């Protein structure tokens, strides 16, 4: 099937993928734009998972003060090269992360970082709310509530504030695919005026 340069350009503008990748995706999808987008997303996610083991020693430490000067965020995001650290796509991604942290107040980056005592406390609260159910059902409900808790307190598991249809982790994988380097959200701290220490 012959794919016109115009439709390739349109797909490129829509996805930020390379011209040849767009052309191949459109050929594979028989010219269907939506299928081509899906093909590129799948390809990008598989490429992102391949890159996840690569070392990230470059990156940025950046700060954000929210309007009104009552919330501030300091973040470290790592990448593989200083070239990418200066790239506008990477910088915009870091700014989006800081906005996410300022507005959604996560406690940590990923679920492995949530203190065990917090999880134990949440499990106790969840169990206390469930009465009259068999133990195996109680444990499944508790597990579901803990997964919901992770979605509230872990940055990567939160719904992205600018597009609640995707999680921050999906945004991260999309940026890895777009930039072509491994990216790691290393750490952050969020300050709120008058917050208890």
Question: Residues near 15 by Cβ (< 8 Å), separated by ≥ 6?
Answer: 22, 37, 40, 41
- 5-51 folds as Helicase, Ruva Protein; domain 3 (1.10.8)
CATH superfamily of 58-110+154-192: Elongation factor Ts, dimerisation domain (3.30.479.20)
Whether pLDDT at 49 is above 90: no
Cβ distance 52 to 182 under 8 Å?
Answer: yes
Number of neighbours of residue 45 by Cβ within 10 angstroms = 15
Q: Structure tokens of 60?
A: 């940025």
Model pTM score: 0.70
Provide the pLDDT for residue 127: 86
Q: pLDDT for 106-164, tens place per residue?
A: 999 999 999 999 999 999 898 888 888 888 888 888 899 999 999 999 999 999 999 99
pLDDT, tens digit, for every residue of 63-122?
999 888 999 999 999 999 889 999 999 999 999 999 999 999 999 999 999 999 999 999
Residue entry with tokens 């269907």 = 32
Q: What is the 3-state secondary structure (H, E, C) of 41-65?
A: HHHHHHHHHHHCCCCCCEEEEEEEE
In the predicted model, is pLDDT for residue 33 greater than 80? yes
CA-CA distance, 123 to 62, in Å (whole number)? 35
Per the DSSP assignment, residues forming a β-bridge with 78 are: 59, 184
- Domain segments of the chain: what residues? 5-51, 58-110+154-192, 115-152
């Amino acid at each position: 099937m012959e794919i016109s340069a115009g439709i390739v350009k349109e797909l490129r503008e829509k996805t930020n993928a390379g011209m040849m990748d767009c052309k191949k995706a459109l050929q594979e999808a028989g010219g269907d734009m939506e299928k081509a987008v899906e093909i590129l997303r799948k390809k990008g996610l598989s490429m992102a998972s391949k890159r996840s083991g690569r070392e990230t020693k470059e990156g940025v430490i950046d700060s954000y003060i929210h309007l009104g000067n009552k919330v501030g965020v300091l973040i470290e995001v790592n990448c593989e090269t200083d070239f990418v650290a200066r790239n506008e796509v990477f910088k915009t991604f870091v700014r989006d992360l800081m906005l996410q942290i300022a507005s959604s107040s996560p406690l940590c980056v990923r679920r492995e970082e949530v203190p065990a005592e917090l999880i134990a406390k949440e499990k106790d609260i969840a169990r206390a709310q469930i009465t009259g159910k068999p133990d195996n059902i109680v444990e499944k409900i508790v597990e579901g509530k803990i997964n919901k808790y992770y979605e509230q307190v872990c940055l990567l598991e939160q719904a992205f504030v600018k597009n609640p249809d995707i999680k921050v982790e999906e945004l991260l994988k999309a940026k890895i695919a777009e930039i072509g380097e491994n990216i790691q959200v290393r750490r952050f701290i969020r300050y709120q005026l008058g917050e208890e220490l």
